[in-house]
Structure 1
């Protein structure tokens, strides 16, 4: 096993690699971006696959059985064979609108979104089984519950003809489109994440707040009205620990903070800066390893960091600007998309267990 922080795989792209994904068995890695080519590589061994696409690739997801790849390819969703790249089905969600994200439910349905609509597509045929239109776009982020029954939306209302400094975090039942909960901060909501049992939702907003609320009715759990935080952390990205005990929030102040999920109390932050050193700049991506013991962050200082729950830095790897970041399902690898290439970093035993 190589030293943690070793780059195990480099996939060259002629442009930005803005989408990455691992297969469920963690043996294959896919990347895509502005060069209109989907690239699939074995992590260690495997025959490389390069598939021409119609436009910029903005989202990739492996099917639960690993046999197919859902690809957000400009204005269409493609379902492709993960071994040959052959098209199984394709189609637009909304004519003239780019597809931003694709996800699989555990039973193999594809959930895809544009700025204003979420569509559930049958895995076998691509037929639409549910269409959810957002009344005040834009959709800034989505998260799918682990059981595939609910979707959380981050809504940013600073765009469009009726733009204003407003937004909301919403939870909807995917089968019916019924809204179950809505939380409305004082500005746009930038990111959302479900807890592992889908009962809690974490969100961060442009009003400098991070909030936890109940997915069933929108009740805010923290911060409480008497909790006044005068720190300007400018949260913009977040993730939930897969075990449900911790969350990690990245801010424009340069820190990734690990917060207790139950209370929102800060446990640690990374990086730990030596006196006199400049701050790393805004954190743009955060993620938890599946074992919940380590987290990763990427900042505009072009460094990716892995750290433990005490804030101890376990490695720091220089990169180009990170556009996408994802742990492999087994935690062994950290996949990155950046300008000109995609990378797979070896976490060694740090991410396993």
Structure 2
């Protein structure tokens, strides 16, 4: 056993340093060898659920190139373990690493439903779509135990307030009953992330996510019930899933998605180190090629913080991706539109029930 051993069932293969911390933590080979000789477990690789009690839950999104105005996250950190996830960096604000800590130390905001209800009842609040999972997936494994997403959806329904969902987990179908009621009033829009049609690619990129088959089934079931679905083909990673764009678009469209969106991968903050370490261990034969192609999309860097360009990329490879997406939209989404959500009902339900006068 050594520091290059694979951490099974996880995306990140190590904990990177926290830029806000004075101290750093390193697992040394001599310690690992000691554990081996003594028959001790150096790392139990277990997920921890840690309770936190936030003061606010609805976040205003100020980035000009993000397609939402407000978001909320019931969980911080995500057990899905997607290696490319931009949300990893946020874990450093809580004192943890963007690497393995992000996947194994999940902060649970138990008072999220109460905070949401207070926000929607506030006299100053004007109805606008709030997106669940602007940062971490609201249907990650923790939701099976804590059901905070379901409780929040019940509040959105009670106050007739529009809500969007971003997820890559078929657990969303558990809440089909509430989603159908929200949809009766035009209050729900769902975004399902599908990054590959290959289970092997899905497994190494997103180790604890639901299968591609179940994601497509979720799109199909939601669509058959009239619930609008947008497919998130994101991120597109050159050399890993960039060749799948047309097939992905065809699959999600045939299962009922009304629209599709995409981003070109960018490895901001600590994610560049985490992704580089991961790909050199997981896909060593193509690691340098993929890393160089990502850099070509971002002016020679893995990270790109330029608004308007950071998620779109630039250069020849990014242009090829954009051209393929445009072709996919013309071929598979012609005549389809994703509806705007209804913001007209909330004022009449400000106190949780219909006001007659």
Larger-Rg structure: 2
TM-score tier by shorter-chain length is: under 0.3
Question: Which structure ranks higher in relative contact order (CA pairs < 8 Å, sequence separation ≥ 6)?
Answer: 2
1 or 2, which has the higher helix percentage?
2
